[in-house]
Amino acid sequence: MCEAICDLHVANKDGSSSEDCLHETFIFRRRKDKKPGLPDWELVHFNTSIATAKISPEEMLEIQLSNKSHRNPHLYDGLTDREKKLVKMIRSGTQIRDIAASFGLAEITIKKALAKIYHRYNVKNRSRLCAYFDDLENS
């Protein structure tokens, strides 16, 4: 993630001026499917905001965390409780064997459940599933 915060001095037509704060956020991820001629990294999210009062980095972080908790409350609609837990564990990077142990199931059972979820969301693998939900969460 790259963030840029700039203080702006804006002069208005009427001769007045104001101090604004420009905040830009870029989120990149390394490409899983490297193709010739394409960069190793791809932009997955971009946000620009302008505040009329200066905001400290600490205040901005607090605002971002607050906004993140309110983003897309229906992110996991259409999934059962167990599927939601499975997707959340996959997104957090938990290994299949650890997921299987936490559910008390065999690894192959978890892989079959994941295959059904991949099919439902038309993705081919774990990283694409994570990218799909990241995109939903950030939109």
DSSP of 16-85 = -EEEEEEEEEEEEEE-SS--TTS-SEEEEEEEEEEESS---HHHHHHHHHHHHHHS-TTTTTTS-HHHHH
Q: Record the pTM.
A: 0.49
Q: pLDDT tens across 119-138, in order?
A: 888 888 888 888 888 887 77
Within this chain, do residues 51 and 107 fall inside the same structural domain, yes or no?
Answer: no
Within this chain, do residues 9 and 48 fall inside the same structural domain, yes or no?
Answer: yes
Q: Which domain, by its residues, includes 17?
A: 2-70
Query: Strand 2-11 and strand 17-30: pairing?
Result: antiparallel
Within this chain, do residues 64 and 16 fall inside the same structural domain, yes or no?
Answer: yes
Confirm whether 75 is domain-assigned.
Answer: no
Within this chain, do residues 128 and 90 fall inside the same structural domain, yes or no?
Answer: yes
Confirm whether 34 is domain-assigned.
Answer: yes
Q: What is the residue whose two structure tokens read 């990283």?
A: 127
Confirm whether 76 is domain-assigned.
Answer: no
Q: pLDDT tens across 16-48, in order?
A: 777 666 667 777 777 767 777 777 777 766 666
DSSP state of 121: T
Q: What is the CATH number of the domain that holds 119?
A: 1.10.10.10
Within this chain, do residues 91 and 131 fall inside the same structural domain, yes or no?
Answer: yes
